[in-house]
Amino acid sequence: MKKKSAWEKLKSGKQPKIVRDLPAAMQKWLGGAENGTMLVSTPEGVEKEIAKIPRGHVIRLTELRAELARQHGATTACPLSTAIFVNIVARAYAEREEETGKVGVPWWRVLRSDGKLNDKFPGGIKEQAMRLGAEGIEI
């Protein structure tokens, strides 16, 4: 079985899901809300939000999750799947850029929830820092 490319994972066509009645272990992600809901977004949903980040600006993963949750009327967005989807977007557009020479969605503008650079992005922290620096963002 052929391994899917990051682009194939990005363009999976999956639909977002709202999870209700979260297991006790996941309640901590609701920020104290009782009977809250959790969005499990999609790679394409995350891609659309990253595309909105203007040049010279960054967003933390927590802010991205909050915006995704707000759009879908959920209490929160799943931190694990959202982080995975951000990395899928980054890898898909890094692959595309390598193939075509065209820069796409600005994945490098997404910081980890703690505000640090993401060492799991294509090229690691060095590449993310270089791209942010090119936009005038001090690291």
Q: Considering the entire predicted model, what is its pTM?
A: 0.90
Smallest Cα–Cα separation from 49: which of 7, 107, 91, 5? 107
Average pLDDT estimate for 2-14: 89
27 lies in some domain: yes
9 lies in some domain: no
- What's the domain range around 53? 17-134
Per the listing, tokens 């639909």 go with 15
8 lies in some domain: no
Please list the residues that pair with 60 across neighbouring strands. 111
Quote the CA–CA distance of 4 and 8 in Å, as a whole number: 6
What's the CATH code of the domain at 89?
1.10.10.10
Tell me the pLDDT tens digit for each residue of 22-78: 766 666 666 656 678 899 999 999 999 999 999 999 999 999 999 999 999 999 999
Smallest Cα–Cα separation from 137: which of 118, 109, 116, 105? 109
Quote the CA–CA distance of 76 and 20 in Å, as a whole number: 11
117 lies in some domain: yes
Tell me the pLDDT tens digit for each residue of 85-110: 999 999 999 999 999 999 999 999 99
